[in-house]
Copies of this chain bind each other. A is one copy, B any other.
Amino acid sequence: MTPRVAVLSTGSELLRGRGTDTNLATFARALETVGLEIRYHSTCGDDFGRLVDELKLAAARADLILMSGGLGPTDDDLTRSAIEEAFHRPLEFRPKLWRDIQARFKTFKISMAAINKRQAYAPQGAISLPNPNGSAPGFALKEDGVLVACLPGPPREMKPMLDDQVMPLIRRTFRLRKVWDYYEGKAIGLPEGDVDVVITKLAKKHGCAYGITAKGGVINVIAKGTPAGVSRVGRDFEKAMGANFLPAELNAVVAGELMRRKITIAVAESCTGGLVASKLTDIPGVSDVLLEAVVSYSNASKVARLGVSDSTLAEHGAVSEECAREMAEGIARTSGAAVGVATTGIAGPAGGTKEKPVGLVYHAVHYRGETRVVRRVFPGERTHVKERAATVALDLVRRTLL
């Protein structure tokens, strides 16, 4: 029989509207990999009696209780005492835990309050779960056939303890195999519908479930299935996407390729207003290849800084294929960079016309004597247009380097 799962989140701050509970999703995803679903979930505040009641209720209707939070050293950290009370397990001092906690405080050179000694206590018969990422150890115990595991609340402490210690314990206790795994992949430059057709086919072929989301021009797919199945989905997806497959975040891929091949780049931006440069400069070490960027909002700047010709601006306007081309070539020439990338468009909300609507953007890349220009019209508000245009510009650099 599949074990019934109850999750208890503690944290009076959750019931007071401070923050949201991300641990529930972490538990759910980990449990899913062994075919388990959460049946019951309660959020408990800092009332001792109610917490004990919730524990008893959970023990009555579930075979596995996962609890997060309430393991700190202060008076409102009630988990240890509530377990003691609900399951009649007197807290006992664990010298090993105490030594670990003292060592941790020593390493980080922080002074320890006397109350931290509370964290060295565990309910009788419980096994301790060391916490390499924080001062609060977790613990687990069996109570009348029910497995109870208590983990710390902070997600960065809770998740490694769950993955490395609690999930193996659950698998052993209930004799579960890893039935599900995940594959996550990214594609760029294709309509979401086209990617959807591919992942639907692959997921079906390899017996996986899948999901697809799009954000800022990048399409993320996720497949869920047997470890062997998702591995096949991943392999086939990367093959099917070809040049549209994105192995990491776009700015890291572009900066990484430039740095690896020692190719210099310079950026000329109009409508993206510095966002292309800012995305590139988020990557450490990019100063070796990024020579400069010019944000030419005004026509005068386009002429003076980038050498765009007055006649181009007069005949075609600043938002035109010709201007984008001259901007990319101009920034490459004036900076001495091997690659010149440019954007010019109408980010909105004002400034659009019938021929040149809000959202129209020209993207250009100059490299090795050739210049490619891509025209796109993006929907949505100003910051969205900037984001999409910066993505297309960086992707154009990526494809040019391929």
Q: 4 tightest A-B contacts by CB? A: A273-B281, A274-B277, A17-B28, A293-B295
Complex interface: chain B residues within 8 A of A19 (CB): 25
Q: Are A295 and B298 in contact (CB under 8 A)?
A: no
Q: Is A347 an interface residue (CB 8 A)?
A: yes
How many copies the complex holds: the figure is: 2
CA separation between A259 and B290, bound complex, in Å?
32
Interface secondary structure of A, over-half rule: mixed
Complex interface: chain B residues within 8 A of A294 (CB): 292-295, 305
Q: Is A14 an interface residue (CB 8 A)?
A: yes
Q: Are B273 and A295 in contact (CB under 8 A)?
A: no
Q: Are B273 and A292 in contact (CB under 8 A)?
A: no
Q: Give per-residue flags for A322-341: 1 if the beta carbon is below 8 A from chain B beta carbons, else 0.
A: 00000000000011100000
CA separation between A16 and B7, bound complex, in Å?
12
CA separation between A304 and B18, bound complex, in Å?
51
Q: Are A17 and B21 in contact (CB under 8 A)?
A: no
Minimal beta-carbon separation of A8 from chain B (angstroms)? 10
User: With A17-B26, A21-B20, A301-B292 as given contacts, are A278 and B386 in contact (CB-CB < 8 Å)?
Assistant: yes
Give A contacts to B, CB under 8 Å: 14-22, 24-29, 32, 37-43, 45, 47, 50, 267, 269, 272-278, 280-282, 284-285, 287, 290-298, 300-301, 304-305, 334-336, 347-351, 382-383, 386
Q: Are B28 and A16 in contact (CB under 8 A)?
A: yes
User: With A274-B275, A274-B281 as given contacts, are A16 and B45 in contact (CB-CB < 8 Å)?
Assistant: no
A-B contact pairs, 30 of them (CB 8 A): A14-B25, A15-B37, A17-B24, A17-B25, A17-B28, A17-B29, A17-B32, A20-B22, A20-B24, A39-B45, A39-B50, A42-B42, A43-B43, A267-B295, A273-B277, A273-B280, A273-B290, A274-B278, A274-B295, A277-B295, A284-B348, A285-B350, A287-B298, A291-B300, A292-B294, A292-B295, A292-B298, A293-B293, A293-B295, A301-B335
Complex interface: chain B residues within 8 A of A26 (CB): 17
Complex interface: chain B residues within 8 A of A267 (CB): 274, 295
User: With A42-B40, A50-B39 as given contacts, are A20 and B20 in contact (CB-CB < 8 Å)?
Assistant: yes
User: With A17-B26, A21-B21 as given contacts, are A297 and B301 in contact (CB-CB < 8 Å)?
Assistant: no
Minimal beta-carbon separation of A16 from chain B (angstroms)? 5
Q: Are B21 and A24 in contact (CB under 8 A)?
A: yes
A284 in complex: contacting residue of B37, B304, B349, CB < 8 Å: B349
Q: Are A297 and B275 in contact (CB under 8 A)?
A: no
A24 in complex: contacting residue of B43, B275, B290, CB < 8 Å: B43
CA separation between A41 and B273, bound complex, in Å?
46
Q: Are A45 and B50 in contact (CB under 8 A)?
A: no
CA separation between A39 and B335, bound complex, in Å?
64
Minimal beta-carbon separation of A196 from chain B (angstroms)? 18
User: With A22-B20, A39-B45, A294-B292 as given contacts, are A383 and B282 in contact (CB-CB < 8 Å)?
Assistant: yes
Complex interface: chain B residues within 8 A of A290 (CB): 273, 295, 297
Q: Nearest B residue to A298 by beta-carbon distance?
A: B291
Q: Are B17 and A386 in contact (CB under 8 A)?
A: no
Minimal beta-carbon separation of A10 from chain B (angstroms)? 11
CA separation between A123 and B335, bound complex, in Å?
71
A38 in complex: contacting residue of B38, B39, B45, CB < 8 Å: B45
Q: Nearest B residue to A292 by beta-carbon distance?
A: B301
A14 in complex: contacting residue of B24, B50, B276, CB < 8 Å: B24
Complex interface: chain B residues within 8 A of A276 (CB): 274
CA separation between A37 and B45, bound complex, in Å?
10
CA separation between A35 and B368, bound complex, in Å?
69
